[in-house]
Chains A and B, each alone.
Chain A
Amino acid sequence: MLGFILRRLVSVAFTFIAVSIIIFLMMHAVPGGPFDANDMPVSEAVRAKMMAQLGLDQPLYVQYLRYMWGVMQFDFGVPYQSPGESVLQLLSRAWVPSLVLGGLGVLIGAPLGILLGMAAALNRNSWIDYLASAVATIGLTIPVFVTSMLLILVFAVWLKWLPASGWPHPERWILPIIAYAAIPVATYARYTRSAMLDTMSRPFVTVLRAKGLSEQRIVFQHVLRNSAIPLVTVFLPMFIGTATGSIFVEAMFRIPGLGAYFVSSIETRDYPLEMALMLMITFMYCIAYLLSDIVYALINPRIRVGGAE
């Protein structure tokens, strides 16, 4: 196991370096730059001075190495769009709302989805099964900005139960959390239902019944544990995908989160911020998949314990 983790950490490091090079090259391959004439009408001399100040007149590889050297010391530079703070300060400020709302969305949505999927699998072809299918289909097919708009329309405009938008008051969190939870609920309801049905059709479940175990024990100990294997592996990647914010949800509910910066950093050619965001996402996904693999091995003895007598 330790060998496995070490090997994976080495491959994470390689992935990280490879991705950083690719992103850096792609970022600079797009024509134009941060100080283009139509965005920023300054004289040629001023532009040259600004470029030199930011190191943008250097050859690409020097820029890359300089940036990565900084990264290794946790210095991600200063965002061009907000020069009063460092990239790190900007991220830690903007990430909080995204992490809270998106994270809570997944943490609430995933268990709900699991419960719904279980209820559907245990009562196949009943109304709850159809409900689960409907929720799964709706959750996965309707775009999140439509859901958000509907939520605002129904709960804020018509019923006037909840405020439509804003931050930081907790009662304003409810609607965005529901919007974020739609996908985890749908995904987990679908995964859980099919995993449980698949497990329950396996011969060993008949054996468990034949030896006199109660139905509860069969479902909660045996079926659930076998079905959990695929469920666990999708959790962390989903968490990261949601907890880094969605530009749509954050725009709809006017949340000062991270989502908007993914777009604005590219639009305004904010190289340091763009790089930092991409590296952060890459790193988190690498770690998430590593952890998923470890958990997968822990709950699946066929991986944990080698074969053969």
Chain B
Amino acid sequence: MSLVEIEDLRVSFRQYGGAVDAVRGVSFTVNEGESLGIVGESGSGKSVSCAALLRLLPPTAEVSATTLRLDGIDVAKAGKDDLVRLRGRAAAMIFQDPMTAFDPVFTIGHQIAETIQAHRNSSARDARKEAEDLLQRVEIKNASDVLDYYPHQLSGGMLQRAMIAMALSCRPKVLIADEPTTALDVTIQAQILQLIKKVQAEFGMALIMITHDLGVIAETVDRVLVMYRGEVMEQGPVQQIFDTPQHDYTKQLLASLHARFEPSRGSDSDTPALELKGLAKAYRIRRRRGLFNEYVDFHAVQEINLALPKNRIVAIVGESGSGKTTTGMMAMRLTDASSGQILVDGHDISNLSPEALKPWRRRMQVVFQDSYSALDPMMTLAQIIAEPLHIHGVGSPREQTETALSWLDRVGLDRSFANRYPHELSGGQRQRVAIARALVLEPTVLVADEPTSALDVTVKAQIIGLLKKLQAEMGLSMLFISHDLSTVKSLTDSVVVMYRGRVVEEAPTERIFSDPQHPYTRALLEAVPVTNPRDKRSRNFLSAEEIEARTPRLTVLQTGVAPHSKPQLVAIAPGHRVEAYVTN
């Protein structure tokens, strides 16, 4: 008998004006010790199917199934006691965002111990001891301290480890991981995936990995279920799905992993479209010292030099907190810089008054990550796209509307969308509108701040394709900000890697991938999930100290620059700069 048996599962949600079918006739099984991946985009029903297995759906959900069994228990008929057995002991779950998955007012230790005590007769003391052991098993070094930490005192990666420890606390037979790494940085993602595989083997559990990311699938599972719009498209061994996909949707998913790169045309002009010279941002932080306040500077971005050549795409890549978004916002003058210059086509705009800046605003536009909050919900799409024309007084109202309509065409939306509102669109469609609004003024510089990171894989590939097409048509110079090296691979001409507020490496895209020099760049590349299960491997991860210690050391002869006690950016090949110590 299988551990998980689902046959003809149907879930619909009651809503105003009828029911919405989320899952339509899904069947699958999971055996003991097996790893099953469920891949699909948002709304495909992958999370809902697993939530139904633990009866975690809201009361508005209507669930029916021929068979819905977990560890021999009929889930639909489970009483109170059965539910306690199902949840935590038969199956444990880990969730997408570790920052919101813990109760903020209790310590980590309390929350793990209470799980143990909910399932077993265990004294508070024993439960706490066991919680500490579990934390150690998920490779948290200062486990005894972490027991007494509150969730807000830990980073996302540490919290996800603690969440895994909590899931393990009742020795579940199957671990359900619902997008466990989507909210994390790439390097942390790789560590968490490796940890999940490790504990799965140690505890002999089955694994259900729910994700939208084929890379995560390739890294972690034996068998794959591809879901689309509430139905199973195909299922099979992971290698077979990657090598000989049957269904069109699966093929589309796989194609998004292997987009081809074509360099942009560039320009003869030597003047960069956008140049940042010594741009820095420091925040004053107030600290309490007894009765008085003390002010400390926090350097979010340290004196950055960066050039965006005309008609080129440059990526800024780095983890959260690396200063990449701050840099982009400073370049747009949406955040005030503490010092440094911003040159647009050779003109310094860093000290211009708002009025003097206005004509420059026409030439530099921005696209944000969250298209939902970036579009005014009270305006129609035509109004949204035409608004920049109105602000800058371009053309008559009639012409403005006409231009907006033609831009709907250009970004691949039907003209009939003109009178719709943002909430009627999907995430990908909204991002298309945001791109149209940014480009309607025909700017020369576009800053795209993680424009695809909130999107599903296939949609992401479409948006990248659209940006690339428009860039070539308009001769745009684009600064593409991303946390993920694999996203930029098919799009950008060169890559700037930021780490802790500094640029640590900068090189043409192919060189970054083929010959990375800085240990942090290498760590980033190492963490990118594989694109085929054949290539999966065990990885070593560097701590921040190790990265610092492995900073390249070069001599004055090699670099031709003066020695310095601190690392500095030095050129090691045309267009390739790396942060290194220079000694005699």
Residues of A within 8 A of B (CB): 3, 6-7, 202-204, 206-214, 217, 222, 225-226, 229, 299-302, 305, 307-309
Contacts and interface: CB of A to CB of B under 8 A. Distances in A.
Interface in B90-129: 92-93, 95, 97, 100-107, 114-115, 118-119
B188 interface: no
A214 to B, nearest CB: 7
Contacts of B170: 211-212
A309 B87 contact: no
A305 B152 CA distance: 9
Given A203-B97, A302-B152, A309-B158, A208 B56 contact: no
Contact of B95 (A6, A203, A212): A203
A207 B94 CA distance: 8
Contacts of B516: none
Contacts of B83: 212
Contacts of A309: 149, 153-155, 158
Contacts of A7: 291
A3 B291 contact: yes
B546 to A, nearest CB: 18
B102 A210 contact: no
A301 B103 CA distance: 11
B103 A212 contact: no
19 contacts: A7-B291, A203-B95, A203-B100, A204-B103, A209-B54, A210-B54, A211-B87, A212-B86, A212-B88, A212-B89, A212-B118, A214-B80, A214-B118, A300-B105, A302-B104, A302-B152, A307-B153, A308-B153, A309-B155
Interface string B346-378: 000000000000000000000000000000000
Contacts of A211: 87-88, 92-93, 115, 118, 166-167, 170
Shortest 4 CB-CB distances between A and B: which pairs?
A212-B88, A212-B87, A301-B150, A210-B93
A7 B93 CA distance: 46
Contacts of A217: 114, 118
**Which interface class (under 10, 10 to 19, 20 to 34, 35 or more) fits B?**
35 or more
A212 B105 contact: no
A307 B291 CA distance: 19
A209 B100 contact: no
A8 to B, nearest CB: 11
Contacts of A210: 54, 56, 87-88, 92-93, 95
A3 B153 contact: no
A305 B166 contact: no
Interface string B138-174: 0000000000011011110010000100110010000
B123 to A, nearest CB: 18
Interface centre among B95, B104, B288, by most A CB within 10 Å?
Answer: B104
Contact of A208 (B103, B105, B158): B103
B560 interface: no
Contacts of A308: 153
Given A206-B95, A210-B93, A301-B104, 10 more contacts: A203-B100, A210-B87, A212-B86, A213-B114, A213-B118, A217-B114, A300-B105, A301-B150, A305-B150, A309-B153
Contacts of B100: 202-204
Given A3-B288, A309-B155, A204 B56 contact: no
A308 B93 CA distance: 27
B153 A305 contact: yes
A207 B84 contact: no
Nearest to A306: B153
A221 to B, nearest CB: 8
Contacts of A222: 103, 106
B285 to A, nearest CB: 11
B290 interface: yes
Nearest to B104: A302
A230 to B, nearest CB: 13
A30 to B, nearest CB: 40
B119 A212 contact: yes
A308 B154 CA distance: 7
Contacts of A299: 105
Interface in B61-88: 80, 83-88
A143 to B, nearest CB: 37
Contact of B101 (A6, A207, A212, A301): A207
A6 B291 contact: yes
Given A6-B291, A209-B56, A226 B103 contact: yes
A204 B98 CA distance: 9
A214 B83 CA distance: 9
Contacts of B107: 301
Contacts of B80: 214
B105 A225 contact: yes
A3 B88 contact: no
Given A212-B118, A226-B104, A207 B95 contact: yes
B152 A301 contact: yes
Nearest to A229: B105
A217 B166 CA distance: 17
A23 B163 CA distance: 56
A7 B92 CA distance: 47
A14 to B, nearest CB: 14
Contacts of A302: 104, 150, 152
A26 B324 CA distance: 55
A7 to B, nearest CB: 6
A229 B150 CA distance: 16
Contacts of A207: 93, 95, 101-102, 163
Interface centre among A208, A229, A299, by most B CB within 10 Å?
Answer: A208
Contacts of A212: 83-89, 115, 118-119, 170
A6 B292 CA distance: 11
